[in-house]
């Protein structure tokens, strides 16, 4: 299973971007999907996650600006990012946690997409 992430780019402060990520194969069960980011010289951190039941969790600094959503049928997760700030500049990675079949757990990372916010 692979995750394909799209949507990064260069945007000015206050602008918006929408990231998309989809699994390449059928998944037996998705527990949760999420977006992480890693800025230069910093550790990877969780930005937002969503469970199969639709419960969401956000990093404090993005609450009210970012919105995570998912399409179960498409095995996809999205991140709408509004009111972007220079501090949001990072490589964004999508992540999937679940089961490929009833007995095999699965965790997959996407290849990363660069988001750059200019001041």
**Whether the Cβ atoms of residue 97 and residue 33 lie closer than 8 Å to each other:** yes
pLDDT for the residue numbered 72: 86
| Per-block mean pLDDT, blocks of 10 residues, the chain (119 long) | 92 98 90 96 97 95 97 92 98 95 93 95
Please tell me the distance from the alpha carbon of residue 85 to that of residue 67, in angstroms, as a whole number: 15
* Burial of residue 84, with CB atoms counted within 10 A of its CB: 0-12 exposed, 13-18 middle, 19 or more buried: buried
pLDDT attached to residue 98: 93
């Amino acid at each position: 299973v692979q995750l394909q992430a799209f949507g990064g780019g260069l945007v000015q402060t206050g602008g918006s971007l929408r990231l998309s990520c989809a699994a390449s194969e059928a998944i037996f069960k998705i527990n949760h999907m999420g977006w992480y980011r890693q800025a230069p010289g910093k550790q990877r951190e969780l930005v937002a996650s969503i469970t199969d039941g639709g419960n969401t969790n956000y990093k404090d600094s993005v609450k009210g600006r970012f919105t995570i959503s998912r399409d179960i049928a498409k095995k996809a997760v999205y991140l709408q990012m509004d009111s972007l700030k220079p501090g949001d500049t990072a490589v964004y990675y999508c992540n999937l946690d679940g089961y490929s079949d009833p007995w095999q757990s699965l965790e997959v990372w996407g290849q990363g997409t660069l988001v750059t916010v200019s001041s």
